[in-house]
Chain A
Amino acid sequence: MENLIGLLVLVPLLGAGVLLCGGRRLDRAGHWIGTLVAALSFVIGAVLFAGLLGRAADDRELDVTVFSWVPVGGFHADAGFQLDQLSVTFVLLITGVGSLIHLYSVGYMAHDERRRRFFGYLNLFLAAMLLLVLADNYLLLYVGWEGVGLASYLLIGFWQHKPSAATAAKKAFLVNRVGDVGLSIAVMLMFTTFGTFAFGPVLDHADRAGEGRLTAIGLMLLLAACGKSAQVPLQSWLGDAMEGPTPVSALIHAATMVTAGVYLITRSAAIFDAAPVAQAAVVAVGAVTLLFGAIVGCAKDDIKKALAGSTMSQIGYMVLAAGLGPLGYVFAIMHLVTHGFFKAGLFLGAGSVMHGMNDEVDMRRYGGLRKYMPVTFVTFGLGYLAIIGFPGLSGFFSKDKIIEAAFAKGGTEGWILGGAALLGAAITAYYMTRVMVLTFFGEERWRPAPSPDEPSAEPAAAAHEGAMPHPHESPKVMTIPMIVLAAGSVLAGGLFSIDDAFVRWLSPVTGHEEGNSPVGALTVTAATMVVMVLGVALAWFQYGRRPVPVTPPRGSLLTRAARRDLLQDDINHIVLVRGGDHLVRGLARVDHGLVDGAVNGTAAAVGGASARLRRLQNGFARSYAVSMFGGTAVLIAATLLMRAV
């Protein structure tokens, strides 16, 4: 069983290697190799899961040291894997949803001539993410962390011939880098504090370190999580990342990448529990992001960007839950898993809609598609019901628990957090209904697409340029993953909640406690239902009852701000770009004035002194003789003087 853990990382890595180095020979079979590799890693993950299930609840941790990685003097870093309930949950999510997305991509990327390479990158993504969740120390986790960053860069910029995609990839990479700096500082602090990176010693002895140290480590870990999970203030890359092919968006948003931050916080639970300031920061980031993402999601007309806002918001829920401490860790992961199902389903559905609509992404040019794409409609609809928390579907169970936990935090803080979470639920219902109504209901607002000023990226679409779209259902290879994910969106939450199965499964790793909520569980559920219905009704009245203009109206100040992602890029531009500009210019001035001045001044002084000194060198032997005699006389006088003294 231990050997299988290493294999789990190795298989997709080998798959990526074979696909990327295999050359054109593999063009015809590459996509199936990639899919098979993903499926194989899912099977391995399932076997490991079954193995863990067969053990006692407190004995479900496997540690494997593969090799001694960096043995230098007193510095030891081993490459090792740790499999426990938390990591196996992630493994199943990553490989399961990942395999479905691979399968879907076979159809979605059918007309792309670089499909083999695409699958190679997908496999690399899986390998990096698996390494991240399986590592048994922070240094190896960092390797996976960077690998995820690299793979996301390659995939977001997959259509690199589009300048916007290339820019988006660079943006994602750079923003992630800011977070990575946080992680690397956290790892270094851990080493100076604990003398090791391994999860075991660091987390077991976390409370022995000073609180200041732990707060610093916690805040740096939070910065890292913000970068990967697109939390405020490092959220700006997520919207632009939609430039990648739709399966990539599904993979980034559901199974990999953005979940890494939540994993990091949950894994480092012991550190955060001992550092209340860092934990409060986590909660604040989560609460702000969940509202931020939701508001952005309301204003976007691009179906993928609306879903991206929703991802940001849902990850905000998870981070909020993770920041609640033992009250929320389990629910953060539970929401992560259910979100993995319905968000992947929603993205694949969006991809399917785009596939049938000549890659049109503007929802104002959709409408009435339910008749033409029945399977997409039903699966997307189930995902929709799950994300807004319709009773009985998976989002209902996981989100409701988070809202309850937020209230259970207690005091004013609990009321604020719970209120924010409730408000977020209302906005979620609103924008998801908006997406649903604009896409599948109402009149048909199709236009000849794509518009000339935005030439389509996908070669497949070029053939249809200027033609009216003929919406059609996607091929089976695309609909089957959607159906499976829809089934997951419907069932997962319920299955996890039977007899609190998920809580019992995960609590040995993360710890769990029930809080004393000032409001009863039933009240919370009822309130959630009420705000959900309000959100749905509002969206229905705005978009379902009235005709939708094809060109977006000017909108209020808030709408316009939200369309611009609540000015995130403008803020970054003013604070970072212009601030950096001024800083650099100031530094250049200091460099020219002070540093260069000192260097040049020294040189000039030496040169001037030499010019004067060289006049002594006049060529007259007798004048040299005078200096010699003078010098000797001085030496003798000095010697005599010293003796006398």
Chain B
Amino acid sequence: MNPVNYLYLAALLFTIGAAGVLIRRNAIVVFMCVELMLNACNLAFVTFARMHGNLDGQIIAFFTMVVAAAEVVIGLAIILTIFRSRHSASVDDASLLKL
């Protein structure tokens, strides 16, 4: 199978994720969309590794997973804390940090 198809899939997934981040208000959904984007990137990296015949892309994919895991831990903790204090998981409600 032509590896380029995987790249199309990755682009599609990334676009869905990006649109979700921009459109959805629920922090959990936004968060999941971010994960979708990260994994789309992973898919692209792995595909490139396959196409170029070396392991660089695969190694970077591992790094991305580690970073994503750390991000999930911290991100969920923040969302949980915000929900506890404001009783809402909407990203638009938490808009106090401005001039």
Q: Which of B43-51, B64-72, B88-96 contacts A (4 or more CB under 8 A)?
A: B88-96
In the complex, are the beta carbons of B91 and A619 less than 8 A apart? Answer: no
Render A611-635 as a binary contact track against B, CB cut-off 8 A, 1 for contact.
0001001111110011001000000
CA distance A67 to B96 in the complex (A): 76
The yes or no answer to B18 lying at the interface (CB within 8 A) is yes
Render B79-99 as a binary contact track against A, CB cut-off 8 A, 1 for contact.
000000000000110111111
Give B contacts to A, CB under 8 Å: 18, 21-22, 25, 30, 91-92, 94-99
Q: Nearest-CB distance from B19 to chain A (Å)?
A: 10
In the complex, are the beta carbons of A629 and B95 less than 8 A apart? Answer: no
In the complex, are the beta carbons of A621 and B98 less than 8 A apart? Answer: no
In the complex, are the beta carbons of A617 and B99 less than 8 A apart? Answer: yes
> Inside 8 A of A618's CB, which chain B residues have their CB?
95, 98
In the complex, are the beta carbons of A617 and B22 less than 8 A apart? Answer: no
Q: Nearest-CB distance from B11 to chain A (Å)?
A: 12
14 further contact pairs, Cβ within 8 A, besides A619-B94, A620-B92: A614-B99, A617-B98, A617-B99, A618-B95, A618-B98, A619-B97, A620-B91, A620-B95, A621-B92, A622-B22, A622-B30, A622-B91, A625-B21, A626-B22
> Inside 8 A of A614's CB, which chain B residues have their CB?
99
In the complex, are the beta carbons of A629 and B97 less than 8 A apart? Answer: no
Which of A619, A622, A626 is B96 in contact with, Cβ under 8 Å? A619
CA distance A629 to B95 in the complex (A): 19
> Inside 8 A of B94's CB, which chain A residues have their CB?
619, 621
Which of B18, B92, B96, B99 is A629 in contact with, Cβ under 8 Å? B18
CA distance A214 to B22 in the complex (A): 81
CA distance A618 to B91 in the complex (A): 13
Interface size on A, residues (CB 8 A): 10
Q: Nearest-CB distance from A354 to chain B (Å)?
A: 81
Render A108-119 as a binary contact track against B, CB cut-off 8 A, 1 for contact.
000000000000
CA distance A626 to B21 in the complex (A): 9
Q: List 5 A-B contacts (CB under 8 A).
A: A620-B91, A622-B21, A622-B30, A629-B18, A629-B22
Q: Nearest-CB distance from A626 to chain B (Å)?
A: 6
CA distance A338 to B58 in the complex (A): 109
Q: Nearest-CB distance from B15 to chain A (Å)?
A: 11
CA distance A614 to B96 in the complex (A): 14
Q: Nearest-CB distance from B62 to chain A (Å)?
A: 24
Q: Nearest-CB distance from B93 to chain A (Å)?
A: 10
Q: Is the interface of B mostly helix, strand, loop or mixed?
A: loop
> Inside 8 A of A626's CB, which chain B residues have their CB?
22
Q: Nearest-CB distance from B27 to chain A (Å)?
A: 9
> Inside 8 A of B30's CB, which chain A residues have their CB?
622
CA distance A625 to B37 in the complex (A): 13
Q: Nearest-CB distance from A320 to chain B (Å)?
A: 79
Q: Nearest-CB distance from A134 to chain B (Å)?
A: 74
> Inside 8 A of B91's CB, which chain A residues have their CB?
620-622
Give A contacts to B, CB under 8 Å: 614, 617-622, 625-626, 629
CA distance A620 to B96 in the complex (A): 8
CA distance A620 to B97 in the complex (A): 8
CA distance A617 to B96 in the complex (A): 11
Q: Nearest-CB distance from A612 to chain B (Å)?
A: 12
> Inside 8 A of B96's CB, which chain A residues have their CB?
619
> Inside 8 A of B97's CB, which chain A residues have their CB?
619
Which of B18, B21, B98 is A619 in contact with, Cβ under 8 Å? B98
In the complex, are the beta carbons of B22 and A619 less than 8 A apart? Answer: no
> Inside 8 A of B99's CB, which chain A residues have their CB?
614, 617
In the complex, are the beta carbons of B98 and A622 less than 8 A apart? Answer: no
Q: Nearest-CB distance from A460 to chain B (Å)?
A: 80
Q: Nearest-CB distance from A570 to chain B (Å)?
A: 64
Q: Nearest-CB distance from B33 to chain A (Å)?
A: 10
> Inside 8 A of A622's CB, which chain B residues have their CB?
21-22, 25, 30, 91-92
CA distance A590 to B94 in the complex (A): 52
A617, A618, A621 — which one has the most chain B CB atoms within 10 A of its CB?
A621
> Inside 8 A of B92's CB, which chain A residues have their CB?
620-622
> Inside 8 A of A617's CB, which chain B residues have their CB?
98-99
> Inside 8 A of A629's CB, which chain B residues have their CB?
18, 22
In the complex, are the beta carbons of B95 and A625 less than 8 A apart? Answer: no
Q: Nearest-CB distance from A455 to chain B (Å)?
A: 72
CA distance A620 to B92 in the complex (A): 6
Q: List the 5 closest A-B pairs by CB distance, nearest first.
A: A619-B98, A619-B95, A614-B99, A621-B91, A620-B95
CA distance A57 to B7 in the complex (A): 109
CA distance A356 to B22 in the complex (A): 108
CA distance A619 to B90 in the complex (A): 13
CA distance A618 to B99 in the complex (A): 7
CA distance A629 to B22 in the complex (A): 9
CA distance A126 to B22 in the complex (A): 92
CA distance A625 to B94 in the complex (A): 14
Q: Nearest-CB distance from A593 to chain B (Å)?
A: 34
When C-beta atoms are compared, the residue in chain A nearest to B18 turns out to be: A629
When C-beta atoms are compared, the residue in chain A nearest to B27 turns out to be: A621
Q: Nearest-CB distance from A622 to chain B (Å)?
A: 6
When C-beta atoms are compared, the residue in chain A nearest to B97 turns out to be: A619
> Inside 8 A of A619's CB, which chain B residues have their CB?
94-98
Q: Nearest-CB distance from A274 to chain B (Å)?
A: 74
> Inside 8 A of B21's CB, which chain A residues have their CB?
622, 625
Q: Nearest-CB distance from B96 to chain A (Å)?
A: 6
Q: Nearest-CB distance from B41 to chain A (Å)?
A: 13
When C-beta atoms are compared, the residue in chain A nearest to B98 turns out to be: A619
B18, B97, B99 — which one has the most chain A CB atoms within 10 A of its CB?
B99
> Inside 8 A of B25's CB, which chain A residues have their CB?
622
> Inside 8 A of A621's CB, which chain B residues have their CB?
91-92, 94-95
CA distance A205 to B48 in the complex (A): 84
CA distance A619 to B25 in the complex (A): 14
CA distance A625 to B96 in the complex (A): 16
CA distance A629 to B15 in the complex (A): 11
When C-beta atoms are compared, the residue in chain B nearest to A632 turns out to be: B18
CA distance A236 to B26 in the complex (A): 91
Q: Nearest-CB distance from B97 to chain A (Å)?
A: 5
When C-beta atoms are compared, the residue in chain A nearest to B95 turns out to be: A619
CA distance A525 to B19 in the complex (A): 116
CA distance A619 to B96 in the complex (A): 6
CA distance A619 to B91 in the complex (A): 10
A614, A619, A626, A629 — which one has the most chain B CB atoms within 10 A of its CB?
A619
CA distance A622 to B30 in the complex (A): 9
Q: Nearest-CB distance from B83 to chain A (Å)?
A: 15
When C-beta atoms are compared, the residue in chain B nearest to A618 turns out to be: B98
> Inside 8 A of A620's CB, which chain B residues have their CB?
91-92, 95
Q: Nearest-CB distance from A618 to chain B (Å)?
A: 5
Q: Nearest-CB distance from A565 to chain B (Å)?
A: 70
CA distance A625 to B24 in the complex (A): 12
Q: Nearest-CB distance from B71 to chain A (Å)?
A: 15
